[in-house]
């Protein structure tokens, strides 16, 4: 029995598993998540609107959710949903959040102090810019799935799905189940790279529970709907005046450069783009966690030791922020992180460590197979917007990139708009060839001035379940 209070940020697979692991080791848990419902992105749902065929591992989610609810009933856990964390004081292990309907005025201020914090803040889609990508009807792969799962809608009647990574497959399936037609699924990586990633060391696939079956399911879905799946292909231009009216696709070489003469037009009225994921490391950076080194524009991950501890004492991390690995890895890492945070002895956690090691091995393969190549820059024209919020185009950024000064590069305003560089930051940094510090965010979530002003007053009382 532990007398530690573990705070968990994020209620996706990693966070739910962390809460569960910490509770199993006898700790008290406070779980904060900014969504209306638990589950994060992977288990995004609505009780009435979500077609059950869209979910994976649903039984696991229900088990975690129900165990957590029971812990709340018995007073060992507190769950705060609709909680936007805007500041973390790492040294004090104190989390500041605003609880209430997203973006609504009148949210309640809470401050939670604990003995350990587990960061499980997940990832969001990366969509590479290309001509026409700001047209209405162009969405991320994650948006296509979120709209299908959460709202039961599709954006267009016929969607072209393009990008890189195995996530494109469940997205295509989601669109089909939600009643949309999928024009094609285009994977930028070419067969040799994919074979090397997926087929090498097949014994590691044994550790990735059910992956083979899942793959077969997607393949069957594509076949059933006669949806072409093309490797070594990508969208190079999206057509339309006020919304998507079509797209130009091309074969891509090994560096993702379009091959001349292979362009052809595809009929569609929506495009779902997904070139992998960017880990949401804002909170980790604010707390001071060490992150991996990577070229400008490439994702950086929170560095963790064998027990999921970060470089900051009392702060642990699990899930996509430690490496893009999918739900299985997130569950294993979360469980281990939660148990470690609760103070469990390392010797007692060998099974959790083995489980984590097995799932992580598979995860590393994905990057090998589907990793980004530089040729995407050749898709851009001078007037292709790169920063969507501030409408800054590639030509403007290229000119600023040549300047001797970092300050000049910031003067384009790329990355300084409403989304604070979350969408364009990686592309802008890649084009500038330099890290611009766009992912250092003193405010982790937008807040109204009155809400910040209220921070002069003592926070309100904490209920047991919101």
Within 410-449, the residues that bind other proteins by CB under 8 A are 410-411, 413, 416-420, 422-423, 441-443, 446-449
The string of DSSP codes covering 101-166 is STT-SSPEEEEEE-SEEEE---EEE-----TTTTSTTEEEHHHHHHIIIII---SSSEEEEEEEST
Of 85, 95, 119, 144, the one binding other proteins (CB under 8 A) is 144
**Least distance from other proteins to the Cβ atom of residue 134, Å:** 6
Between 211 and 413, name the residue whose CB sits nearer to other proteins: 413
**Least distance from other proteins to the Cβ atom of residue 456, Å:** 4
3-state secondary structure of 249: strand
What is the x/- site pattern for other proteins, positions 357-396, by CB under 8 A?
A: -------------------------------xxxx-----
Contact 411, 400 (CB under 8 A): yes
Q: Which phi and psi (to 5°) does residue 98 adopt?
A: -120, 125
3-state secondary structure of 237: strand
Say how many C-beta atoms besides its own lie within 10 A of residue 253's C-beta: 14
**Least distance from other proteins to the Cβ atom of residue 51, Å:** 13
**Least distance from other proteins to the Cβ atom of residue 391, Å:** 4
Between 274 and 338, name the residue whose CB sits nearer to other proteins: 274
Within 81-100, the residues that bind other proteins by CB under 8 A are 87, 96
Of 20, 30, 41, 308, the one binding other proteins (CB under 8 A) is 41
Within 265-304, the residues that bind other proteins by CB under 8 A are none
Q: Dmax over Cα atoms in the chain, in whole Å?
A: 67
**Least distance from other proteins to the Cβ atom of residue 3, Å:** 28
**Least distance from other proteins to the Cβ atom of residue 197, Å:** 26
Q: Which stretch binds other proteins (CB under 8 A): 183-191, 312-320, 369-377, 407-415?
A: 407-415
Residue 84 Cα distances to 16, 95, 123, 301, angstroms: 17, 10, 16, 22
Residue 259 Cα distances to 202, 248, 434, 460, angstroms: 32, 13, 28, 60
Side-chain-facing half-sphere of 190: CA atoms under 13 Å: 13
Between 44 and 356, name the residue whose CB sits nearer to other proteins: 44
Length of the chain: 466
150 binds other proteins, rule: CB under 8 A: yes
47 binds other proteins, rule: CB under 8 A: yes
Within 8-37, the residues that bind other proteins by CB under 8 A are 34, 36
């Amino acid at each position: 029995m532990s007398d530690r209070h573990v705070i968990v940020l994020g209620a996706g697979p990693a966070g739910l598993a962390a809460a569960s692991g910490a509770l199993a080791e006898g700790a008290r848990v406070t779980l904060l998540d900014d969504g209306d419902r638990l589950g994060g992105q992977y288990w995004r749902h609505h009780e009435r609107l979500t077609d059950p065929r869209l979910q994976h591992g649903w039984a696991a989610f229900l088990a975690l959710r129900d165990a957590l609810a029971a812990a709340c009933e018995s007073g060992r856990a507190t769950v705060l949903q609709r909680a936007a964390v805007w500041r973390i004081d790492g040294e004090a292990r104190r989390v500041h959040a605003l609880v209430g309907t997203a973006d609504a005025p009148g949210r309640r201020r809470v401050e939670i102090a604990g003995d350990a914090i587990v960061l499980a803040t997940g990832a969001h889609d990366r969509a590479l810019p290309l001509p026409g990508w700001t047209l209405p009807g162009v969405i991320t792969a994650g948006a296509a799935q979120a709209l299908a799962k959460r709202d039961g809608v599709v954006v267009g009647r016929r969607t072209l799905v393009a990008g890189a990574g195995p996530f494109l497959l469940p997205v295509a399936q989601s669109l089909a189940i939600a009643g949309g037609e999928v024009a094609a699924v285009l994977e930028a990586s070419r067969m040799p790279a994919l074979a090397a990633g997926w087929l090498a060391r097949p014994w590691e696939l044994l550790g990735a529970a059910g992956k083979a079956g899942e793959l077969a399911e997607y393949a069957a879905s594509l076949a059933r709907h006669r949806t072409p799946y093309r490797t070594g292909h990508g969208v190079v231009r999206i057509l339309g005046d006020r919304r998507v009216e079509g797209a130009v696709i091309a074969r891509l070489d090994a560096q993702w450069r379009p091959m001349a003469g292979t362009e052809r037009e595809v009929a569609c009225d929506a495009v779902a783009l997904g070139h992998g994921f960017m880990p949401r490391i804002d909170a980790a950076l604010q707390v001071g966690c060490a992150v991996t080194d990577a070229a400008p524009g490439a994702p950086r991950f929170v560095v963790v030791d064998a027990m999921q501890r970060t470089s900051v004492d009392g702060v642990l991390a699990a899930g996509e922020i430690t490496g893009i690995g999918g739900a299985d890895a997130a569950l294993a890492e979360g469980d281990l992180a939660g148990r470690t945070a609760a103070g469990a002895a390392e010797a007692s956690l060998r099974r959790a460590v083995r489980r984590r090691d097995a799932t992580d091995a598979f995860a590393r393969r994905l990057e090998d197979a589907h990793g980004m190549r530089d040729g995407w820059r050749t898709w851009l024209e001078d007037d292709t917007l790169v920063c969507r919020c501030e409408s800054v185009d590639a030509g403007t950024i290229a000119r600023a990139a040549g300047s001797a000064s970092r300050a000049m590069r910031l003067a384009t305003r790329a990355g300084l708009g409403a989304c604070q560089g979350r969408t364009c930051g990686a592309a802008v940094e890649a084009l500038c060839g330099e890290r611009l510090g766009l992912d250092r965010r003193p405010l982790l979530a937008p807040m109204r001035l009155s809400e910040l002003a209220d921070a002069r007053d003592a926070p309100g009382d904490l209920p047991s379940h919101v």
